[in-house]
A and B are shown apart, each in its own frame.
Chain A
Amino acid sequence: MTFSNNLFFSKILHKDIRNLDDSVIGNLNDVLIDSSGIKPTLTAIEVKNGKRLFYINCEAIQIYRSSANKYYLQLGSTQVTFTSPPENAIFLAKDILDRQIIDINGRKVERVNDIRIGLIKDNWAVIAADIGLRGLIRRLGLEYAGILVTNLLHKEFHNKLVVWDDVQPLISNRDNLKLNQPYTKLTTMHAADIADIIEDLDQQAQIEVFKSLDTEQAADVLEEVESDVQKALLEQLPIEQAADVLEMMPQDEVADILEEITDITAEKLLIEMEEHISEEIRELMEYDDRTVGSLMMTDMMSFDKDENVKSVLKQLRKEQPEEDITNFVYVTDDKKLVGVISLVDLIHAKSNRVLRSMMKTEIVILRDNDKIEEAMEQMQKYNLMILPVVDENEELIGIVSLMDIVYEYIRLKKVDV
């Protein structure tokens, strides 16, 4: 019999616990954990004796391993026993074993087949999640048979472990149970990866994870997820929070999403949003699906023809618009589009030059009611990634990017099939 300081949780789950005098006091039904640190620590064990449940602090337990690789649980001399677990306690077997986790490094949702625990500085802690086949086989009590078979095949029977630093558990908030550090590990991931993971989760976990993101990251993620998930998220999120997220997103995308969800929810969201944003979105929503107007961005960079380069650059620095809409600035005369200047020209120009003296006046334009096929043709013909959109009064109302056109074109193709 040797003292064990590193083992799989399934080896001791439901095993008898013996007192100093070797009498059995019950079996190990579960373990309570404290997850406030990076690695959760084991605080107490839940002992089941017949129908009775009670709890003993973890320090009192010693784990031994026999030469036949069997594990024994023995109580030490000092022990604290209590009869009810702390409120909102998290359990290793009930809340983590057999449930889904996010593997941050592997960027995937996995199921926990077993849990590796170990003694770190006199405290038992959760070290890794076992997500492999060997863990499953071990749970069935067939690990040694599995090793024999793989040995016969001259292969090794590998464990597939994810160290706990890379594990984000998914604990649903039934009974308002909250993790002390909710989903902090996710924030280091790219929005597209978080989106992929959210698509793989069940509906409740989806909303839990999404709620925990900060508004900016939530907006990026919402843009990336599939439209049915977008819909589900928006309809379940508190209205205020959903409105905040939508305000951070490109307005053409918001208009698309709002068209998909129920009218009541869409209306509530629009009312909750800041008025100048919701008005623009409402205008976008008026457009037919297949027209340029339905997917134009309305937050383009436009300046009056009498402004000079210095003031334009100053405003660009202040507002820091996203790069895909700053390649060109548009010049207007009383809202009417009269010219275009590339960002490069603007940077090279003397700072006191007035826009009207340097702008190009032959502009390729789109009208808001143009079909997206026409937009594609124009872009291809003139080799342009972005085109301005004007209404029937020649007033500049938005810009359209090739990316958005292609995306919409493919989507409509799919719908047609």
Chain B
Amino acid sequence: MKDKLKKRWRKLIYIFGIIGPGIITASAGNDAGGIATYATVGANYGYKMLWGLTIITVGLAVIQEMNARMAVVTGKGLSDLIREKFGVKLTLFAMTILFIANFGVVLGDFAGVAASMELFGVTKYISVPLVALFIWILVTKGSYIKVEKILMLFTFVFFGYIFAAFMVKPQPNWGEVALSAVTPTFDMNTGFILTFIGMIGTTITPYMQFYLQAAIVDKKLGLKDYKYEQLDVYISSLWSNVVQFFIIVCTAATLYVAGTHISSAAEAALALKPLAGNYAFILFGAGLFGASVLAAAIIPLSTSYAITEAFGWESGVDYSFKEAPAFFGIYTFIIVISAALVLIPGLNLMNLILSTQQIAGFLTPVIIIFMILLVNDKRIMGKYVNNKLQNAISSITVILIIACTVALMVAQFL
């Protein structure tokens, strides 16, 4: 009996061991850029963009499932596969795109550090250099894993939006919310389109695809674990977007109704007032800080891994700076330069965060196109190539983003 229990327990631990990469990736996705973008979507446009979130939730789930499938079938990271199929020139192109997008996201996250600490009255000239140094030492000394879990705890704050949405008075018209989630509406002005692209960019960030695939490969999951990993990816895509959905509802029901446009973290924090009253600032500040530090640590590291692996250079925190100059060089460059840029006096931090997500949004389709070509290659995937539905959904996601970019250019002339 005891043995049986032990066995069942072990099986459970085993499944939990498999389920995980998706959840961590999704949590890191709700970083400073994510929170700021969703809060702005709700505050400035009410429920108008909820339908877009519905579409990209499906798109995200399908795209991340492609990553999971490539990881278990090939056992290789995304940048390895890109290099092996597309050669040096296209790999350089893909890596440049990844580098720019990731650099932007890290910049946004340092801005998030600055904005969150300003809520507590700490100037960015102190908080940003300290956090940058802390992250740099933490990761190069290899003790990052211990801190990761603490940082993830901070991000649980954002679940508060779910409760806040049900506590806000007057209550949002839930019928209207549900209808908005499935009814496409589109405003042909640059502000709307840019925000919409930013929302896509922060939800399906280029770095996520590389990070998730690498995480599954690292866990040495094989085809037999695939059904669990598929579940992990679907559940975490859905779950993270539930949080995002309620951030939008919450900010729409409070800020949009009051006509407040978000221009600082303090205003974004107001949406948590129904839940936490005057403690909303503390709650929001802590969550934003944790999420920003988590992403600012993970993203430079995963960029270094992706680029060095693509070109066959030494990579890993076990090496010294001299043994793996490219790995540490890229990592240090991203942290130092993005932290330094945030320190430029007179920057509007909120605008900086939002525009980095928009850049990620423009670049995301490039990486997804590489992925679609890889996952449909029979030489690589054998019988595990995409089916028609998967191809349709991933292509529609790409087309939607490109269409938005085109609409943006058109709107500039209107």
Contact = CB atoms under 8 A, between A and B. Distances in A.
A99 B379 CA distance: 14
Interface stretch (A70-78, A231-239, A301-309, A396-404): A231-239
B74 A202 contact: yes
A393 B61 CA distance: 61
A113 B88 contact: yes
Contact of A98 (B14, B83, B217, B380): B83
B379 A94 contact: yes
Interface in B77-107: 80, 83-84, 87-89, 92
B382 A110 contact: no
A136 B89 CA distance: 9
B84 A204 contact: no
Contact of B92 (A110, A140, A232, A263): A140
Interface in A214-239: 228-229, 231-232, 235-236
Contact of A139 (B74, B87, B222): B87
B149 interface: no
A286 B31 CA distance: 47
Contacts of A204: 74-75
Interface in B298-338: 311-312
A228 B17 CA distance: 13
A202 B311 contact: no
A263 B222 CA distance: 17
A361 interface: no
A111 B92 contact: no
A174 B83 contact: no
A136 B379 contact: no
A111 B311 contact: yes
Contact of A136 (B7, B14, B80, B88): B88
Nearest to B71: A203
A163 B75 CA distance: 28
A203 B213 CA distance: 13
Given A99-B84, A202-B74, A111 B312 contact: yes
Contacts of B75: 202-206
A229 B217 CA distance: 12
B76 interface: yes
Given A113-B88, A202-B80, A263-B7, A236 B312 contact: no
Contacts, number: 50
Interface residues of B, number: 21
A174 B88 contact: no
A69 interface: no
A263 B312 contact: no
B222 A232 contact: yes
Tell me which of B10, B74, B220, B380 has the highest count of chain A C-beta atoms within 10 A of its own C-beta.
Answer: B220
Contacts of B379: 94, 174
A58 interface: no
B383 to A, nearest CB: 11
A139 B76 contact: no
A150 B222 CA distance: 45
Interface in A98-127: 98-100, 110-111, 113
* Chain A interface helix/strand/loop/mixed: helix
Interface string A51-72: 0000000000000000000000
A383 interface: no
Contacts of B80: 202
A140 B88 contact: yes
Given A174-B379, A174-B382, A232 B87 contact: no
Contacts of B217: 202-203
* Chain B interface helix/strand/loop/mixed: helix
Interface string B145-169: 0000000000000000000000000
Interface in A263-284: 263
Given A99-B84, A140-B92, A113 B312 contact: yes
Interface in B247-293: none
Interface string A345-387: 0000000000000000000000000000000000000000000
Tell me which of A98, A131, A202 has the highest count of chain B C-beta atoms within 10 A of its own C-beta.
Answer: A98
Interface in B204-255: 217, 220, 222
Nearest to B14: A262
Contacts of B92: 140
B222 A98 contact: no
Nearest to A101: B312
A94 B92 CA distance: 18
Nearest to A93: B87
Contacts of B83: 98, 111
B88 A139 contact: yes
B84 A236 contact: no
Given A98-B84, A139-B89, A231 B220 contact: yes
Contacts of B14: 262
Contacts of A141: 89
Given A94-B379, A140-B92, A202-B217, A263 B10 contact: yes
A232 B312 contact: no
Nearest to B6: A263
Contacts of B311: 111, 136
Interface in A141-165: 141
A203 B220 contact: yes
Nearest to B314: A108
A321 B89 CA distance: 56
Given A131-B312, A262-B14, A98 B74 contact: no
B4 to A, nearest CB: 11
Interface string A250-263: 00000000000011
Contacts of B382: 174
A375 B217 CA distance: 39
A303 B382 CA distance: 58
B330 to A, nearest CB: 15
24 contacts: A94-B379, A97-B87, A98-B83, A98-B84, A98-B87, A98-B88, A110-B312, A111-B83, A111-B311, A111-B312, A136-B88, A139-B88, A139-B89, A174-B382, A202-B74, A202-B76, A202-B217, A204-B74, A204-B75, A205-B75, A229-B220, A232-B220, A232-B222, A236-B222
Shortest beta-carbon contacts, A-B, top 7: A111-B312, A203-B75, A139-B88, A202-B75, A232-B220, A202-B76, A204-B75
Given A99-B84, A202-B75, A202-B217, 10 more contacts: A94-B379, A97-B87, A98-B84, A136-B88, A139-B87, A202-B74, A204-B74, A228-B220, A229-B220, A236-B222
Interface of B: 7, 10, 14, 74-76, 80, 83-84, 87-89, 92, 217, 220, 222, 311-312, 379-380, 382
